[in-house]
Amino acid sequence: MPVRKQGYELAGPIWKKAMVNLYAEIKIRHYSPSTLKTYTNWVRKFYAFTECKDPRTLTPVDVKKFLAYLAVKKKVAASTQNQAFNALLFFYRHVLKKDFGDHTDTVRAKKSRYIPVVLSRAEVDSVIKNLSYPYDLVVKLLYGCGLRLFECLNLRIHNFNFDAGILTVHDGKGKKDRTVPLPQKIILDLKAHIDNVVELHQADLKTGYAGVFMVGRLDEKYKNASKELIWQWFFPAKTLTFVPKSKEYRRYHLHNSHVSTAIRSAVRKAKVLKRVSAHTFRHSFASHLLQANYDIRTIQELLGHSDVRTTMIYTHTVKSLTAKEAKSPLDL
């Protein structure tokens, strides 16, 4: 059976079973939906590259050929090739139960120096002014707390501790938790927004909705949690979602594509001549802290980076002083 150019439809029960097992292995480790999607896509591309080769006969050589193909023929970025490498490593070890082999001699994609796009404070303010509610509040949290977009949209009411002035981010990248300070300038905005969420929640309860979508098996562990106020999304979707399997209505959070569209529109209106995405505000958060002389370890913790080397990339976004511009500590 031929492989589709888009979608890579799987042929044969062995490959279909392998994909089912891949899904199960990812789920049992509580990896994020984005990881599930990414790993699945790479395995499907690998399947197409090997021309539907029986997975029982796959060897480390097939992986080397595929990675070399990505680097030489497709000319992908090093990060993209690493993503494929990690997906296939997981597939070989946990699904095929095969030796992945030594890939030190594999052709690697050329690493390019990446410098994040950073907005000035004036540009951040200008973009926010051109955003309507609740997208303006989303961006204020992205910039004010250094959040990733998925971290922001996954926030629930109980993540906010106004008494302590902190925001707790659960299940960030790598399933790590962290706390960040809440920007004092937007506390009133946040509380006013919660009032709106409470109002929406009351309306949902009257309609007899089944609650919000819950992560993993929390719905089974805490039967009524999905209808409790503290578990409601901080940024709820505007409409309820019908779940065909259970024939019930549940509420999801604001969709990331809606946020991205709103940001693009605001950037155009603000006449900001830079490539701006939701992640740009996280980059700006880190760079502005560095400019304010925060130490790199503190910024690492606030961003939730496992390795300080990841945080060090922001040193390239801040102007360095020449020997003549630098001052002696006695003159500061």
> Using one digit for the tens of pLDDT, what is the confidence trace for 65-91?
999 999 999 999 888 999 999 999 999
Same-domain check for residues 86 and 52:
yes
Contacts of residue 193, defined as CB under 8 A and 6 or more positions apart, other chains included, come to: 134, 137, 234
Check pLDDT > 90 for residue 2. Answer: no
> Using one digit for the tens of pLDDT, what is the confidence trace for 132-175?
999 999 999 999 999 999 999 999 999 999 999 999 998 767 67
Annotated active-site residue 148? The verdict is yes
Question: Are 134 and 190 in contact, with CB atoms under 8 Å apart?
Answer: no
Check pLDDT > 80 for residue 325. Answer: no
pTM above threshold 0.75: yes
**Greatest pairwise CA separation for the chain in angstroms:** 76
Question: Are 304 and 176 in contact, with CB atoms under 8 Å apart?
Answer: yes
Same-domain check for residues 72 and 138:
no
> Using one digit for the tens of pLDDT, what is the confidence trace for 206-221?
999 999 998 876 777 7
In angstroms, rounded to a whole number, what is the distance separating the alpha carbons of residues 306 and 164?
25
Check pLDDT > 80 for residue 222. Answer: no
Same-domain check for residues 90 and 149:
no
- Quick one: DSSP state of residue 249? E
Is residue 5 in some structural domain?
no
Is residue 104 in some structural domain?
no
Is residue 130 in some structural domain?
yes
Boundary (domain end) residue, out of 96, 126, 143:
96
Is residue 161 in some structural domain?
yes
Among 53, 64, 227, 279, the active-site one is: 279
Annotated active-site residue 279? The verdict is yes
Check pLDDT > 60 for residue 110. Answer: yes
Among 94, 103, 148, 178, the active-site one is: 148
Among 173, 178, 193, 258, the active-site one is: 173
Is residue 2 in some structural domain?
no
Annotated active-site residue 249? The verdict is no
Joined tokens for residue 161: 């501790």
pLDDT at 157: 97
Measure Cα distances from 121 to 115, 126, 185 in Å. Answer: 18, 9, 15
Among 44, 253, 282, 288, the active-site one is: 282
Check pLDDT > 80 for residue 125. Answer: yes
Boundary (domain end) residue, out of 96, 124, 140:
96
Host H or E run for residue 160: strand 160-161
pLDDT at 324: 56
Check pLDDT > 60 for residue 328. Answer: no
Annotated active-site residue 29? The verdict is no
Please give the tally of structural domains in the chain.
2
Annotated active-site residue 173? The verdict is yes
Is residue 199 in some structural domain?
yes
Annotated active-site residue 305? The verdict is yes
Average pLDDT across the chain, whole number: 89
Same-domain check for residues 240 and 162:
yes
pLDDT at 327: 59
Which among 30, 93, 26 has a CA at the least distance from the CA of 58?
93
Is residue 8 in some structural domain?
no
In angstroms, rounded to a whole number, what is the distance separating the alpha carbons of residues 22 and 43?
9
Residue type for position 249: Y
Q: Of 19-28, 51-60, 242-251, 317-326, which gets the smallest average pLDDT?
A: 317-326
Among 8, 47, 209, 314, the active-site one is: 314
Same-domain check for residues 17 and 79:
yes
* Phi, psi of 219, deg, nearest 5: -65, -35
Q: How many CA atoms lie within 13 A of 308 on its CB side?
A: 5
pLDDT at 1: 34
The enclosing domain of 307 has a CATH number of 1.10.443.10
Query: Which of 8 and 106 is assigned the larger pLDDT?
Result: 106
**Which residues span the domain enclosing 24?**
13-96
User: Which strands form 166-169's sheet, in the order they lie side by side?
Assistant: 160-161, 166-169, 178-181
